Amino acid sequence: MSLRLDRPRACVRAGSPYSPEVNPPTTPRPPLPREVVVLGWVSFFNDVSSEMIYPLLPLFMVAVLGATATSLGWVEGIATGVVALLTAWVGYRSDRFQRRVPYIRAGYALPVFGKGLLVTAVAWPMVLLGRTIDRVGKGIRSSPRDALIADVTTEADRGRAFGLHRAMDSAGAVVGVLLSAGLLWWLSGSPVKDPSITQTAHTAAAFRTIFAIAAILGLAALGFTFLLREVPHASASTTTATTAPPEPTGLRGLSRTYWLVLVMLMVFSIANSSDTFLLLRASQVGLEPWEVVIGYALYSLVYTVVSYPAGVLSDRYGRWRVIAIGWVLYALVYFGLANAGHATIWPLLAVYGVYIALTDGVGKALLSDHVPRARRGLAIGLFYMATGLTTLVSSVVAGLLWDKVGPAAPFWFGGLAAAAAVVLLLVIRPWRKA
């Protein structure tokens, strides 16, 4: 079946940024706006803090607190659900009051408190509370932040802007997981001098020390948010001319193409359970805790390297083409994880990094392309809400499959669901509706 995906309409419109006579291949592209770069640094430092904790969390819950995979699924699912419930409302509010920065700032302040709570956790419900507070912050900041990136960029550069943001975000993840791995090796690898302290208690103390350091580093991300400036509505680069008709409000401002894109992304998210199950799988096939963290660093490094080129490719060749390739890679990785061993887990994590780079920022750019500026916060918030709710369900299902059927079962389910999404994409061909 022919896969002719969404060559942006600007490519064939005279006078557009894609037009050869306006933007020939030899013309250097202008630098990205200041707000995109500042938000990149905010995400960098936030991910240094967050990713020091994230790869250790499933090991901490299962090995130290005695939680089951089902409990892990509930923790990650509910945390994702909190984000889902908040993002649409916050996005709508940021549209209505034409202010993005206060929500962004609050959204990076709350995770500091959530991570601090993990330090004192003695049972998995306390981890749930800490993760929920952390995710409340994500729910508050995500749609205003992405809407601000879209506000200050044109369609011709939007994929590049989101690609840079995701690259800096994942670069912070690389630094965070490597720092976490080094601290874990140093703290848990040191001999236990007090015979009354068990090895489990020694490891738990190492985890808590790392969580405390991560909470402190989260303050750096909050500090960078004070360098952001609000973009006036009338001066945004995507604002229409004053002679254009007023933009529709509410849900009326969201086109049929937007809803079609949203539905397709939701269908795929049914396959996309929490990444903590990848880390739990790596531990289950024989990797030591520090090796699990290094494996996550490998995934994050690939994600960092590929994100910006993926955004540029989506600007040039179309968003759907790049996303479709990413979905195929996801299905292949999950089928591989169902049969993974100690050696094969490493290349699978690397390819998983390619998948996320091809889909994450590109998907947000695709949604932004089909929404007027006045509705952009709501549109991106609805995306987070819808895909978050489906991810909640898929994470709980993955946990149940792990406990009731076996460790390979969640990956067979995810791989088959992703393959079904690819088939549906080729049948519906949403790029032709654009």
| Exposure string over 244-268, b if 16+ CB within 10 A, otherwise e | eeeeeeeeebbbebbebbbebbbbb
pTM for the structure as a whole: 0.68
Q: Measured at the alpha carbon of residue 231, what is the angle toward residues 145 and 319, in degrees to the nearest 5? A: 50
Please tell me the predicted confidence (pLDDT) of residue 269.
85
Strand, helix or coil for residue 266: helix
What residues have CB less than 8 Å from 351, skipping those under 6 apart? 302, 329, 332, 333
The 10s digit of each residue's pLDDT in 384-395 is 888 778 877 888
Determine, yes or no, domain membership for 8: no
**pLDDT tier for residue 10 given thresholds of 50, 70 and 90:** very low
Determine, yes or no, domain membership for 425: yes
Determine, yes or no, domain membership for 14: no
Does the structure show a pLDDT above 90 at 272?
no
Please tell me the predicted confidence (pLDDT) of residue 40.
92
Determine, yes or no, domain membership for 415: yes
**pLDDT tier for residue 37 given thresholds of 50, 70 and 90:** very high
Determine, yes or no, domain membership for 103: yes
Does the structure show a pLDDT above 50 at 34?
yes
Determine, yes or no, domain membership for 360: yes
- The larger pLDDT score, comparing residue 124 to residue 298, is at 298
Q: How far is CA 33 from CA 37, 123, 143, 231, 363, in A?
A: 7, 45, 18, 11, 20
Please tell me the predicted confidence (pLDDT) of residue 198.
57
Give the DSSP H/E element, type plus range, for residue 314: helix 289-317
Mean pLDDT estimate for the chain: 80
Instruction: Tell me what the mean pLDDT of segment 157-172 comes to.
Output: 88
Does the structure show a pLDDT above 90 at 336?
yes
Please tell me the predicted confidence (pLDDT) of residue 413.
92
Determine, yes or no, domain membership for 22: no
The 10s digit of each residue's pLDDT in 200-249 is 676 778 888 898 999 988 899 999 999 988 877 554 444 444 444 555 55
For the ranges 55-69, 172-186, 347-361, 362-376, the lowest mean pLDDT is seen at: 55-69
Please tell me the predicted confidence (pLDDT) of residue 318.
85
Determine, yes or no, domain membership for 245: no
Domain that holds residue 144: 33-230+255-433
Where residue 122 sits, what CATH number does that domain have?
A: 1.20.1250.20
Give the DSSP H/E element, type plus range, for residue 410: helix 409-428
What's the number of domains the chain is made of?
A: 1
Q: How far is CA 175 from CA 57, 121, 311, in A?
A: 17, 25, 22
